[in-house]
Amino acid sequence: MMTHASTENLNIASFDAMPSPAQIKASAPLTDTAAATVEMGRTTIKRILDREDPRPMIIVGPCSIHDPVAGLDYARRLKVLAEELADTLYVVMRVYFEKPRTTVGWKGFINDPRMDDSFHIEEGMLRGRQFLLEVAEIGLPAATETLDPIAPQYYGDLLSWAAIGARTAESQTHREIASGLSTPVGFKNGTDGSLEAAVNGCLSASNPHSFLGMNEQGETCIVRTHGNHYSHVVLRGGGGRPNYDTVSVSLAEQALLKAKLAPNVVIDCSHANSWKKPEMQPLVLKDVVSQIRDGSRSIVGAMIESFIEAGNQPIPANLAELRYGCSVTDACVSWDTTTQMLCDARAALRDVIASRRN
């Protein structure tokens, strides 16, 4: 039988073997301690979304993980702080490995763990899973953005919350993936600030889907999902303006109710809500806290981009010149500022949360 190889793979340089999810998991297996952290994280977040736990969740951490040593240093600090705040705030660590790019740039730790355009994805996937495992064993629930369609098969068992980003909220592929995720999932509003993609994403993800995917053995298969009933909207601003104000939150509530969805809203204190200026994040959180104090029930959480050192840095040719604990993607608030932000939020909300609990 004649083949027509000249008509396919014309722009493919190579197909390199990738370990299956089962092989990666065998190299970094889920422990009982880690499983307990993940399950508690998911259960607590679902209780928050169901209004059974009155605390807001705070998803806080680096814009992206590039140095596992600094990342774990941050996680250990955050665990101590989380325990101090636990009566009022539920803290989840932001652990982002994949970075969507408008054009080009470093795509994140899984795609290029050596940060030198060598793209050892097999290494990045294993090291990323190992990092999530260590965070879970510290006792911190973890959150990430789901970007690559098959990545959840490799480390989804270690996550308590997931986001669908502003650039992918309209994507049918990502809505289908969200419908099968084991975690609650937040859909961000579009980069232009519009709500429609996020609300439609929640609606789509809440329904069953069937699509092409991959199983744990690395085999192509038809994935059939039940639908994810814990999808919600994340307001991150856009189109040149923020959308964390009371009017924007009210409009989001109305849009969700119109779609017959629970009016659950998370506020991203970074990105367009802070004009990508980290020093504005405390002001956004302060406003969010005030709305909760004033009676808002739809605001169920907030996101903060935070690392050990403030700001960000370019990736140098000599990686030894990287500043420890400083972001290589979006600028972050420092650890000291993070501590102050969360302690202030707890002080302002403690009586409110206690009264709701009673």
Residue 3 lies in a domain: no
pLDDT at 104: 67
pLDDT at 220: 96
pLDDT at 226: 98
pLDDT at 3: 57
Summarize the confidence of residues 259-280 as an average pLDDT: 97
Strands (E), 309-351: none
Is there a contact between 304 and 78 (Cβ–Cβ < 8 Å)?
no
pLDDT at 5: 67
Is there a contact between 115 and 315 (Cβ–Cβ < 8 Å)?
yes
Report d(CA 218, CA 196) in Å as an integer.
35
Record the tokens describing residue 322, joined without a space.
């990287």
Q: What residues does 207 pair with on adjacent strands?
A: none
What does the pLDDT look like over 147-206, one tens digit per residue? 999 999 999 999 999 999 999 999 999 999 999 999 999 999 999 999 999 999 999 999
pLDDT at 102: 60
pLDDT at 105: 82
pLDDT at 355: 97
Record the tokens describing residue 297, joined without a space.
């029930």
Residue 4 lies in a domain: no
Summarize the confidence of residues 268-288 as an average pLDDT: 97
Summarize the confidence of residues 6-17 as an average pLDDT: 93
Residue 6 lies in a domain: no
Instruction: List the end-to-end C-alpha distance of the chain, in Å, as a whole number.
Output: 75
Count CA atoms within 13 Å of residue 233 on its CB side: 34
Report d(CA 304, CA 313) in Å as an integer.
18
Residue 135 lies in a domain: yes
Record the tokens describing residue 301, joined without a space.
């959480």
| Tally of domains in the chain | 1
State the pLDDT confidence band at 2, using cuts at 50, 70 and 90.
low
346 φψ region: left (φ > 0), alpha (ψ -120 to 50), beta (else): alpha
Angle, CA 216 vertex, CA 109 and CA 233 arms, to 5°: 60
CB-count exposure of residue 348 (10 Å: 0-12, 13-18, 19+): middle
What does the pLDDT look like over 211-232, one tens digit per residue? 999 999 999 999 999 999 999 9
Q: Supply the range of the domain harboring residue 324.
A: 18-357
What does the pLDDT look like over 82-141, one tens digit per residue? 999 999 999 999 999 987 766 568 999 999 999 999 999 999 999 999 999 999 999 999
- Looking at residue 154, which CATH number applies to its domain? 3.20.20.70
pTM over 0.75? The answer is yes
Report d(CA 121, CA 113) in Å as an integer.
7
Chain-centre distance for alpha carbon 210: 24
Residue 307 lies in a domain: yes
Chain-centre distance for alpha carbon 257: 24
Of residues 2 and 126, the one with the higher pLDDT is 126
pLDDT at 99: 74
Question: What stretch of H or E contains 186?
Answer: strand 185-188
Is there a contact between 93 and 64 (Cβ–Cβ < 8 Å)?
no
Chain-centre distance for alpha carbon 146: 7
Residue 71 lies in a domain: yes
With a CB cutoff of 8 Å and minimum separation 6, the contacts of 260 are none
Report d(CA 356, CA 245) in Å as an integer.
23
For the chain, give the mean pLDDT. Answer: 96
Residue 1 lies in a domain: no
Residue 326 lies in a domain: yes
